[in-house]
Structures are given as C-alpha cells and as structure tokens.
Structure 1
Amino acid sequence: MAVYHDFEFVDERNDCVIAKINIEDIFLDYVMEQQAYEVDCLYNLIPSINPGYVKEPYRSKVPSDKGLNYCGISVINHYSFDYLKKIFLEWIDILEKLDDEYYYPYLVDLNEDQLAEISFEEMKGLKETLFVKSEVLKKLNICMHYLETMNSPDIVIYYYGI
C-alpha cells in the first residue's frame, strides 16, 4: 500500500479545487537520501501557514511558519510559490539523473550475494515498495505547470502530509 503526500491546488476566491496531485512518500525518502538531507529538511524551507492556528482565507495571509508538516496539513500561498518551484525543480533534476525507471528502495543497496539469499516470496514482498520514475516526473511537471500558469493571489495549495 503506497503512502502519499498530496498537493491540492485551490481557487480560494471561487471556493473550488483545481487539482489534487499525490507524490509517493517513497520518492521523497529517495530524494532525502540523494541529497543527504536530514529527515525533515526539505519541509523546513517553504514559508507556510498552519491552518490549525490561522483562519481562512489564506490567500492574503503572509506566511508566519516555515516548513511543511510531514504528517499534517500546511497551506502554501502565492508568497511561497517561488520556494515551492525551486523544490519541484530540484526533485525533477534528481529524477532525470536516475537511470532506472523503477526504484526499489529495499533492494538498491543489496549486493549479488545478498540478493542470491533472498527467496522468491521475500523478493516479491520487497518489490512491492517502489516508485516509477516517469509517473513521479509527470506529477511534478503537472505541479510546475499549475504553479507557473496560476500564479495568482487567489490560488492556495493545501499540502497534506502522510
């Protein structure tokens, strides 16, 4: 069962959801490994709004928090779109450097001897956790498209952590 982080693009003035894009948690774990980030470093970069402490509407609020809640809800408005674009571009760059289409985090560090010792059933279980490069890349490009074309004070992004 995959775990996701959701980015929900909302037109706050017209009270409608434009799109909801989910990014696999296993991909974010991979990003943190590749960039040698601490567990929550990526989430500490973006100025955000905590909806638990600030009331709607969020479009005109200057973000008073920094970071996205890994296991909660954060709101990103136009004040922080440039920060989010930089992170998405960084993630896209990481993906484009990845040679394989499928990434299996539980198998990547095993050598040939260790792989030979794994039974068929164990291998099947280890291969259930993965992300697909082209799918994640497509989702990130869609997020970038929305950020670039809807750079309006009326647009906010609800980030739902795992």
Structure 2
Amino acid sequence: MSDAVITDLRAIPFATAEGETKTISDFSDAGVVLVVNVASKCGLAPQYEQLEELQKAYADRGFTVLGFPCNQFMGQEPGSMEEILDYCAVNWGITFPVLDKVKVNGGSAAPLYKALKKARDEEGKKGPVIWNFEKFLLTPDGAVHRFRPTTKPDDPAIISVIERNLPA
C-alpha cells in the first residue's frame, strides 16, 4: 500500500555524513529512492548486503539507497560517523550513501522521518518506525511504499515497485 506523503518530500533537507545539507532530489535522477534506517549492531544488519545488491543492480537506471544510521533501538548504532562508515565499507562494501545519524521517532525525529512515517505499510498501518531497517520506497509519482524491517530488500514486492518505476 502507498500514500503520497507530502508533495515536497524530496525537498526536505538532511545532513550527509560529511555535514553537508542535501535533499533526496540530490541523489536520484529517476526519482526512485529507498530510504532505510540502518544499524551496525542489529541482527538485521545482513540486509546491508541486499541493499548493496539493489544499489549495484539499479544505480545505472537512476535508483539509489539512502542509509540513515539510527541509535534509537537498543543502542544498536552507537559509533561515530567515522566508525559507521568504516563498518559499512569493510564489512559490506557499501557504495550507496550512508548519511548522518538521525532519530526516526519522537519529538526530535529528523524532519524527513516525520514525513515518511505518515506512509502506510502493506497492512495499512502508519506511525512510528518499529525497528532498524524499516524501508520507505519513494517513486516519481510522489508515492511512498513502506516495508517493515523484516521485509528483506530483495523481496519481490520491493523489486516490482523499483522495476515498475525506473526507466528501461
């Protein structure tokens, strides 16, 4: 299920790992982006491998994964940005952008996540991010397709949305 969240979702600023201000529009020509809150010490961290496979498979068509480290779930992303980037490179060979650490829930949640959480998942539920590796797939028509943490990045439901929305 998808909901158009807000028309200017792609214009909400956030910080890169280097401290630059960017928006989603800065990362994808085709307008298909997978936003994921990531955590190095999480049992779901092996999803990094599948996220990287998606990046490699579709990057040349304008797709990108954006990883936002988050330490809100049992302190599973405690490191500095340097440590997080090193972990991603050494353990998973990550080439997609890993951005600045954010909060995804609560009053101090990043503005992008405040907007993303308005999207409904496949069961029609919206609201707080429930754990690390929750996925928000943005498409050019402004829709946001929300997938919960246990849905793997290479799940057919995610792949079909990506393929339907990218240029051939």
Higher helix share: 1
Higher Cα Rg: structure 1 or 2?
A: 1
Q: TM-score, normalised by structure 1?
A: 0.29
TM-score, reference length from structure 2? 0.28
Instruction: Determine which structure has greater relative contact order: mean sequence separation of CA pairs < 8 Å that are 6+ residues apart, divided by chain length.
Output: 1
